Structure 1
Amino acid sequence: MGASKPKQSPVRTVLRWLLALAYSYAGYRHLATPAPFLAITPDWVPQPAFVVAATGVAELAGALGLMLPQTRKAAGWGLALYALCVWPANFHHALANVAINGETLGWWYHGPRLAAQPLIIWWALWASGATDWPFRRRPDLP
């Protein structure tokens, strides 16, 4: 008999599925309707249309990777890095007061959105099993 795999937490499983669904939807939106994403892309980003399309593909690949046990941790690290790399676009959106479809969003949106990015980064790492922090203590700690 082979060694059994440790049972996954139902909470982690549900949150992994929610994250995969969110990234799948975002990836689809990046590819189907790139205009809002192009609008918030900082001017210093080269080839913004290519970058927006590439981020859509990255989101879809990361979402799929979360669902496959063989690629789950790598997908978590990739999505965490992705979320870190797109954070400047969120800052640009907020600080430049960029209008999307003629509408600007106030700090009621931008404040929580910017503050949530570290949580999204952690979520990708935790849901993928790349980290257990802060829920599991190391055995050598009291």
Structure 2
Amino acid sequence: MKTNKIQNAFRILLGALMTTAGIGHLTFQRDEFIAQVPRWLPTDPDFMDFVVLSSGVVEITLGLSMIFLMKHKVKVGLALALFYVLIFPGNISQYTNHIDAFSLDTDRKRLIRLFFQPVLILWALWSTGALKYLINFRKNK
């Protein structure tokens, strides 16, 4: 799927942001990301750390794939959008359990954060041409 220069710039930017976030999972923001592990999962500290570390590896992989796997950008965009859907319960958990992290120290800020997730999903789909792919796929069905 062909994308224009603006989409490519936003794809690379999102890839860089994902890579940086993934590195944060593994290093300097590890405790902050533990706050986003849904509380309906086991709350054993070792398990929660495993969730943070493994999701960090996934974020780095998706981030670098957004930047470098241009021939597979539609698949990567779909995968990243799915990843954003899968991690959304962590954002909901942070809101419903009133957990402070990433300067989200009020329920209002945590609620506003929930509305940013669809923006990330659309960003991943649009910047990779996956949105156009999905629209065309649906039309051709």
Q: One fold, TM greater than 0.5? A: yes
* Alignment partner of 1:22 out of 3, 6, 17: 17
Match of 2:71 in 1: 70
Q: Does residue 9 of the first structure (1) align with residue 10 of the second (2)? A: no
Q: How many Å apart are 1:108 and its aligned residue?
A: 4.0
* Alignment partner of 1:43 out of 30, 39, 50: 39
Provide closer, same or farther for how the CA distance between residues 104 and 20 of structure 1 changes in structure 2, counting only shifts above 3 A.
closer
Provide closer, same or farther for how the CA distance between residues 114 and 9 of structure 1 changes in structure 2, counting only shifts above 3 A.
same
- Show the 5 A alignment for 1:63-102: 63-67=63-67, 68-100=69-101
Paired AA for residue 34 in structure 1: R
Paired AA for residue 72 in structure 1: K
CA distance in 2, matches of 1:30, 1:57: 8
- Larger helix share, 1 or 2: 2
Provide structure 2 residue ranges, at least 5 long, that are not aligned to the other structure.
none
- Show the 5 A alignment for 1:49-60: 49-60=49-60
Greater gyration radius: 1
4+ residue stretches of structure 1 with deviation over 4 A?
none
Contact persistence 2:19–2:63 (CA under 8 A)? yes
Q: How many residues align?
A: 133
Paired AA for residue 86 in structure 2: C
Provide structure 1 residue ranges, at least 5 long, that are not aligned to the other structure.
none
Q: Which structure has more RCO (C-alpha within 8 Å, separation ≥ 6)?
A: 2
Provide closer, same or farther for how the CA distance between residues 66 and 100 of structure 1 changes in structure 2, counting only shifts above 3 A.
closer
Q: How many Å apart are 1:104 and its aligned residue?
A: 5.7
Match of 1:110 in 2: 110
Q: How many Å apart are 1:107 and its aligned residue?
A: 3.7
Q: How many Å apart are 1:35 and its aligned residue?
A: 1.1
